[in-house]
Amino acid sequence: MSDPKSYRPTNLPNDPGVYRFFDKNDKIIYVGKAKNIKNRLNSYFGSNLQIKTRRMVNTAVRVDWTVVNTEVEALQLEFTWIKQYSPDFNVQFKDDKSYPYLAIDLNSEYPRLFISRAKKIAGVKYFGPYSHAWALRSTFETLIKIYPVRTCSESNFQTAKRNKRQCLLGDIGKCVAPCVEWVDQSEHRKLATDLASFLEKSPEEISLRIEEEMKVASNMQEYERAAKLRDQLEAINKAFESTDRFLNQNIDADVLAIHEEITHAALSQFIISSGRITGSRSWIIDRANLLEDESIISALIGKVYGDSIPPSEILVDSLPVDHEVLETWLSEKRGKSVELMQPSRGEKFDLVQMVKRNANQSLIQYLSKRANDAAVSGSALAEIAEQLELVELPLRIECFDVSNIQGTSMVASMVVFEDGQPKKSDYRRFSISDDLDFDDTKAMYHVITRRFKRYLEEKDVDLVDSKIAGGTRPKFAYPPQLVVVDGGKPQVNAAAKALQDLGITDVALCGLAKRLEEVWLPNNSEPVIFPRHSEALYLLQKIRDEAHRFAINFHRSKRSKLMLESLLDDLSGLGEARKKALLTHFGSVTALRSATESDISEIPGIGEKMAKSIVEQLKVVINANKIDTETGEILGA
């Protein structure tokens, strides 16, 4: 790590420009733009930098800058350098797919239709990207039936011209064979232009024009041409009859949305043409090195439109701070006005939310695959061990959470993660009597004591003498390398006292507080602060959230059972035996309420008359008290 003071620049200009930080290997690690270079660069050498910004500044050994005339020029140069150098601390887009495009080379003497996975050829019109290659292939086959432009390579086209023999596509009607002059150059170009218009515009416009041409040909008794136009019209209608158009056909826009989590973010782009989704794409961003004030949406706009022409309207879920500069840059690229818009209501708002949900699903799929990556789990465990100064990797982590409502219906959960993955067979639930009058800290002491008393009882079990099937040790006999409690300093100290009272000193302990995601250690006055977007913190949060989920589910079940007992007390004609039978059979208000008279009458001791009385009384009590039948909670009149 270098000392930033050693390379802090002086005599900085007040002009707009772009700056670059270099590491000791002279590699560019960060590129940024500034309206005022002097003010922006001086901000990197202050004393109150955020964690990742400080790490970047300490990694760098020098910084240089380039002055430009306007902020828009600075934005353009920033995008260019980020694309060229891929700096570690700038937004890095991960795309595990290479999405296909439909392309029409209108610059060619005889335009050609083809599928491409790269948008690099100047003068070629690209449509997409398409998220499913198989769907694009099907569309491609339909299109060349409607508009039989040439699809062959240049070498095959020239060979056909020399031999004066069309290829198979010409023989089967999927090409008008300009190579053998079935149509002349102008007719073929018009066909290709019509195809481009068909993909860009509403198909209804094309259908109406073809229908008019068909009528004209029919009136002129050109029946063969009219028949071809008829077949073309049928193919167009068929191609789009199964395409969902659920948007206003006047919507022509790109929609960009982001879903962010602790360690990663997902970005999705939908391309809308005439109210129809014609393409979609998603990217994943690793936030490990991303500076705190880095704008993800600005970087996405630079990524998407750096090599393509933007549409007239771009809908986003959040306007970037520099949206005015971005609009100017986009308008210059398009040659016409481009508007960045954040809809707040209506159809466009719903569309943005749909794209945001799509980004969320992309991130879920990515993280679910990543969760099974042993290398990722291993690095997270290693970071936890380093941050908490553990003597060994926490290969087995147990997490405890207490759940209650104002001290009643108290329960606790224990979840187990081994090698960074949940081991659900070892999960445990603890029911705590309301008579004990525990608060959260006393409950935590109680639960930790119960769990580790079992450990002390079972750890020395002799497998030879035991009657355990297969000679397997009891599950509580395995000690964790790390115990995590859901809570802050009070909960951690309560758990530490429980371990101390049992004489257990070889189990590490920490707590994760929800408010600021601080990690507390026993008897420490200050918490350990993990990097905000670290894999280690993400794993601890994942474990804590799983313990919370497991505790909440048990708590709801227990509360629902208690509410059923209370509800049965309000029903007349039920003795203790009948109440117990109903409670055992149904277990919750929801189950009892959904039961029919015949279901209830089948329970021993309850006949048809009593079943009818119970159903009638339930309706009165539940409607009067407005009971949430899922949780058993009385919501009040």
d(CA 3, CA 61): 8
Handedness of CA 626, 629, 630, 634 (dihedral sign): positive
What is the reported pLDDT for 19? 93
Handedness of CA 106, 107, 111, 117 (dihedral sign): negative
Q: What is the tens place of the pLDDT at every residue in 275-285?
A: 777 677 788 88
Assess contact for 446 and 497: CB atoms under 8 A.
no
What is the reported pLDDT for 350? 87
pTM: 0.48
DSSP letter at 589 equals H
Q: What is the tens place of the pLDDT at every residue in 311-325?
A: 889 999 989 888 889
Question: What are the C-alpha distances in Å from 76 to residues 34, 300, 534?
Answer: 12, 13, 31
Question: What are the C-alpha distances in Å from 320 to residues 256, 264, 334, 353?
Answer: 12, 19, 20, 17
What is the reported pLDDT for 555? 64
Give the rounded percent of residues in the chain with a pLDDT score beyond 70. Answer: 78
Q: Which of 76-80, 287-291, 460-464 has the lowest mean pLDDT?
A: 460-464
Assess contact for 99 and 117: CB atoms under 8 A.
yes
**Strand, coil or helix: 503:** coil
> Does the structure show a pLDDT above 50 at 630?
no
> Does the structure show a pLDDT above 60 at 552?
yes
What is the reported pLDDT for 22? 92
Burial class (CB in 10 A: 0-12, 13-18, 19+), 507: middle
Q: Which of 372-386, 434-448, 586-600 has the lowest mean pLDDT?
A: 586-600
If we measure between CA atoms, which residue out of 48, 42, 4 comes closest to residue 23? Answer: 4
Q: Which of 361-365, 394-398, 496-500 has the lowest mean pLDDT?
A: 361-365
